[in-house]
Amino acid sequence: MADQITIDLPTGILQRAEILALRAGRPVGDYLAETLQYALEPFGDLSEASPQDWSDQEALDAADSRMPEAEDCRLSELLQRQKAGLLEPKEQGELTALMGLYQRGLLRKSQGLREAVRRGLRPPVQS
């Protein structure tokens, strides 16, 4: 089930969305809804426990987490194809999904590291 809203988009944003939707062979409304969904996914399920409620081990596990190797390799491959202008429309969805996975993982990792440092489990990161 979906809720329906009406939004005003700047002309340039709508034009880009229309072009990308056309390339993906999808209606622009569906394309924008999916894009918004993927943009919000890195924030995860906001009903999940906050990092402050994680156990020490959960914080350390999150701080040490990495994207699985197979997904990381495929993401790199798709990004290279995109940069070279060789990405097929059917691969765009896979790239978007993998980018979402990467973003969620990076967010979780940074939350875990911040929490581990706050608790004194890890030294602060030096830049």
Which amino acid is present at 4? Q
pLDDT tens track, the chain, 127 positions = 788 999 998 989 999 999 999 998 999 999 999 888 877 776 767 767 889 999 999 999 999 999 999 999 999 999 999 999 999 988 988 998 899 889 889 989 999 999 999 999 999 988 7
Q: pTM value? A: 0.65
Query: Residue 89 has what pLDDT?
Result: 86
pLDDT at 100: 84
Give pLDDT, residue 36.
Answer: 87
Residues 6+ apart with CB under 8 A from 117: 123, 124, 125
